[in-house]
Structure 1
Amino acid sequence: MSAPSAVEVTVPASTANLGSGFDALGMALSLYDTVHAEVVDGPPGSVRVDVEGCGAGAVPADERHLVARMAHLALADAGARRPALHLRCRNAIPHSRGLGSSAAAIVAGVAAGYALAGISLADKESTDRALQLAAAEEGHADNAAASLFGGFVIAWNDGGRFGATSLRPLPDVVPVAFVPAVESATRTTRGLLPEQVPHADAAFAAGRAALLVHALTADPSLLLAATADRLHQDYREPAWPDTIALVRRLRAAGVPAAVSGAGPTVLAFPEGGEVPTGIEHNGFDPLRLRVDGEGVRTTVKS
C-alpha cells in the first residue's frame, strides 16, 4: 500500500464487560465515529482538528486531540515522518457514557496513522501492531479490540502483550443501549472497586463469563443468566444508582441487562430487540442497535 495523502476512517462504538467479563469481553455496536485525515501544508507534526457532533467544543482542536496523538504514535511506529495534518471528526458515539468513545478515537487514530504511512490493516501482523498500540493506551483490550475487529471479542493481557479474538454472535442477538444524559469517568468508577473479592464471587464471574460466550454464539435463551455479575457492578452503584436500578428492573422483567463498560449506559438484550412495555427508564434514551461485524474501516481518499 503506497502512502496516500488523505484517508477516511470509520470506527464503531463498543460495549465492554457484558456482565462478569470484566476487562475481557467486548462487543462492537452500530454507532460510528468518522475521521477524515489529510496531509496539508504546515509545520511538521502540527494538527488542526474540526469536530462535529459529540465532543464538539469540548475536546482539543490541535495535536493534543486523542485521534491526533494516536495517529502520531502510529506514524512513529511505522517509521514515518509526522506531516502537518487536518482532521475532520464526525462523532456519533456519546462521550463518557460507557460506549467506548475513547477506544474508538484511539483505534481511529491508529488506523489513520498507519494508513498515512502506507500500512494496511488487512493482515494479521498489522492488526496485531494496531491492537498493541491501542490497548496499551487504554490499559486493557476489550473496547479497543471490539472497535478494531468488530463482533464479540475475548481479550487478554499476557504480561503487557495484548491479545484478542473475535466471534460472531447469532443474528437474533439485538443489543439495546439505554443512554443517559449524565457522563461518567472510568477512573472514578474503577476507583470504587475493591482490591480483593470473595472467592465465591470470582468463581461466579468465571462461570458466567464462560456461559456468555455460549449464549451469544449458540443459545441466546441463556443470556439472562450469562449477563449476571457479582464482580464489579454493585460496587459502582454509588457512582450511578439510577443505572444499577435500571439494570435490576430490566432483569426482574426477564430482560438480560448489564452495565455497559464503566457506565452509566445500560446494555440490554431484549428478545427481538423490543423492550417490554411498562419498564420505567426515565432519563435514559433507548437505542436499538446491531452488532457491528466489521470493525474499523479505512478508505483511501483521492
Structure 2
Amino acid sequence: MGMHKTVRVAVPATTANMGPGFDCLGMALNLYNEIYMSISGDKLSIEVEGEGAMDISRDEQNIVYRAARRVYAELGQPVPGLTIKLVNKIPTSRGLGSSAAAIVGGLTAANRLTGERLSQERLLELATELEGHPDNVAPALLGGIVISVLQDSKVHYLRIDPPAGLNTVVAIPDFPLSTRAAREVLPQRVSLQEAVFNLSRAALLVGALCEKRLDLLQVAGQDVLHQPHRANLVPGMKEVMAAARQAGALNVTLSGAGPTVIALTCGAEEAVAASMQHSFKQAGVNCHTKVLIPTIDGAQIIWFN
C-alpha cells in the first residue's frame, strides 16, 4: 500500500449579522484556518497549531473530526482513522466564525477524501445542522456576502460579491465570549417598532451592498435587536463604535455575538484601528486590531496529493 493522500483546505473567517441582519447575514474575511486531513489506519490523531491550540480538543469531541464523521455517516461508510492537523489563524470565541470554519473545513476535507460525492448545497445543510444556524457557515463555505434563510432544515441563500473598495477593521478583545452567553441576554419578544427598525435596515443594507452604495451603510447598519442587549457583555462597546465612526468608519457593529467589534471602511483604516484600540483601552480592555478584506472565496481545497 502506498501513502494515503492528504487534503489541505483553507477556510475563511466570517462576520455575521453585519448589524441588523441578525442570524441571516454574513461575510467572509481574508483570515484563514487550514486543515490537513488524511486517512490513517484506525486511529484518530489530531494536532493543533496557532489560535485555540490550548483549548481545542484533540479527541472525538473535536469539531473538525465531528464534521468529517458526519460526511462518512451521510455516505453510509464506516469512519476510518484520520490524521488531522489544524493550523488556525481565526481566534476562538471572538465572533469571527472559528466554529463555522472548523465545521466547513472538516466537511470539505472529508468530502474530498471520499471523492467529492456531496454537493455544496448538501454540505451547507450539514454545516447548518452541525452549527445550528447558517449565518457563518454559509459565507465560510461559499465566500462573499451570503443571505441565508433556514426553512425545514433546507437553507435558501443568495450570495453577493462584496462591493469593491470595502475593507474592514476588526478590534479583537483579549477575552472570549461564548455565543451561548451572548444569546442568553437577548429578549424572546420584541416590539413591532423594533422589528420594523431592524427589517427596514436589513433590507436597505442588502440593497446598499448590491448597488455598491457605501454611503448608505451608516444608516443601513443600525440594529436594536441584539447589540444594545449585548453591550454589557463587552465593556466599552458603545464608545468603541462611536470612536470608529468618528475616525471615518462607514459603519460599526459587533461581529457575530462579539466581543469583536468590526468597522466597515473605505480608507482611514489605520485611524479607525487606532481609535478602536484606544477606546477599548480606556474601558480597561486590551485588544488587537487587524485590517481584513472581504473575500469572494469560501472554503478552498489548496491541494490533494
TM-score (norm 2): 0.91
State the 1:270 CA deviation. Answer: 2.3
The match for 2:20 is 20
**2:289 counterpart of 1:296:** no
What count of residue pairs does the alignment treat as equivalent?
292
Compare 20-29 and 60-69 and name the one that shifted more: 60-69
Query: Which AA in structure 1 matches 2:57?
Result: P
In the alignment, the residues of structure 2 paired with residue 244 and residue 137 of structure 1 have an alpha-carbon distance, to the nearest angstrom, of 32
Q: Which position in structure 2 is the counterpart of 1:99?
A: 96
Is there any run of 5+ residues in structure 1 with no aligned partner, and where? none
Q: How far apart in 2 are the matches of 1:171 and 1:76?
A: 41
Q: Distance in 2 between matches of 1:245 and 1:291?
A: 25
Which residue of 2 is the match for residue 201 of structure 1?
A: 194
Q: Distance in 2 between matches of 1:244 and 1:6?
A: 46
Query: In 1, Cα distance between the equivalents of 2:54 and 2:235?
Result: 29
Which residue number in structure 2 is paired with residue 234 of structure 1?
Answer: 228
Superposed CA offset, 1:238-285 (max 9, x none): 211323331233235552100000000011012325253673333222
Question: 2:48 aligns to what?
Answer: 51
Partner of 1:223: 217
Matches within 5 A, 1:33-44: 33-41=33-41, 43=42
Question: 1:299 Cα shift?
Answer: 4.0
Match of 1:70 in 2: 67
Q: 2:81 aligns with which of 84, 106, 121?
A: 84
The answer to whether the Cα contact below 8 Å between 1:11 and 1:33 also exists between their aligned partners in 2 is yes
In 2: Cα distance, 1:300 partner to 1:274 partner: 33
Answer whether contact 1:75 1:116 (CA < 8 A) is retained: no
The 1:263–1:290 alpha-carbon spacing in structure 2 relative to 1, beyond 3 Å, is same
CA gap of 1:35–1:291, structure 2 versus 1, over 3 A, is same
1:207-254 per-residue CA deviation (whole Å, 9 max, x = no partner) reads 111111122232111111111111110011121132333123323555
Whether the aligned pair in 1 keeps the contact of 2:162 and 2:295 (CA below 8 Å) is no
Q: Compute the TM-score of the two structures, normalised by the length of structure 1.
A: 0.92
The correspondence for 2:132, drawn from 133, 136, 139, is 139
My pick for the range that moved more, 131-140 or 279-288, is 279-288
Stretches of structure 2 that go unaligned for 5 or more consecutive residues are none
Residue 119 of structure 1, aligned match among 112, 116, 119: 116
Correspondence 1:245 to 2:248? no
The 1-side partners of 2:102 and 2:292 are apart by: 20
Residue of structure 2 equivalent to 1:211:
204
Tell me the SS of whatever aligns to 1:155: strand
C-alpha distance in 2 between matches for 1:198 and 1:254: 32
- Greater shift in the superposed pair: 269-278 or 47-56: 269-278
The aligned residue for residue 178 of structure 2 is 185
Could you tell which deviates more after superposition, 24-33 or 252-261? 252-261
Q: Which amino acid aligns with 2:222?
A: A
Q: Indicate the residue corresponding to 1:287 in structure 2.
A: 290
SS at the partner of 1:31?
A: strand
